[in-house]
């Protein structure tokens, strides 16, 4: 179990630029989640994949955000035309399909700063 890996750890970008983050889940986990965490808040759900299918998106996920999970392995989260309000920690998590008691395993996150 090598854990959930996220890349990069930190990203500084100028407003209006596009950014892409990568998440590599734990290899046998078929469920993958993206969360966003702003200062002083708990993580907020963005989107969910089961294998390669994106099955749920939060209303927080504006049309500038897109996520993919080709082949049901790693996932990418892209933000187009970044805004200062996008500055946050983006957390990826994965889990097995074991029902109610299956915890999410989180990566270290990607901290995005939009200047």
Partner 1 sequence: AQKITQTQPGMFVQEKEAVTLDCTYDTSDPSYGLFWYKQPSSGEMIFLIYQGSYDQQNATEGRYSLNFQKARKSANLVISASQLGDSAMYFCAMREVAYSGAGSYQLTFGKGTKLSVIP
- Tell me if 39 contacts partner 1 by CB under 8 A: no
CB 4 within 8 A of CB 104: no
- Tell me if 22 contacts partner 1 by CB under 8 A: no
Query: Measured in whole angstroms, how far is the alpha carbon of residue 108 from the centre of its chain?
Result: 11
- Tell me if 30 contacts partner 1 by CB under 8 A: no
Query: Measured in whole angstroms, how far is the alpha carbon of residue 94 from the centre of its chain?
Result: 10
**Closer residue to partner 1, CB minimum distance, 19 or 92:** 92
Write the DSSP symbol of residue 100: T
Among candidate residues 1, 7, 54, the one with its CA nearest the CA of residue 27: 1
Pick from 23, 29, 75, 107: which binds partner 1 (CB under 8 A)? 107
Structure tokens at 14: 């100028």
- Tell me if 89 contacts partner 1 by CB under 8 A: yes
Pick from 12, 17, 18, 44: which binds partner 1 (CB under 8 A)? 44
- Contact residues toward partner 1 (CB under 8 A) are 31, 33, 40-45, 48, 50, 55-56, 89, 91, 93, 95, 99-109, 111
């Amino acid at each position: 179990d090598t854990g959930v890996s996220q890349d990069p750890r930190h990203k500084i970008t100028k407003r209006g630029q596009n950014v892409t983050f990568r998440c590599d889940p734990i290899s046998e986990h078929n469920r993958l989640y993206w969360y966003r965490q702003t200062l002083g808040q708990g993580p907020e759900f963005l989107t969910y994949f089961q294998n390669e299918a994106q099955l749920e998106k939060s209303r927080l996920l504006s049309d500038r955000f897109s996520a993919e999970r080709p082949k049901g392995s790693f996932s990418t989260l892209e933000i187009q035309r970044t805004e200062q309000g996008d500055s946050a920690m983006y957390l990826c998590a994965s889990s097995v399909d074991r029902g109610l008691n299956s915890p999410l395993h989180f990566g270290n996150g990607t901290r995005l700063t939009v200047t």
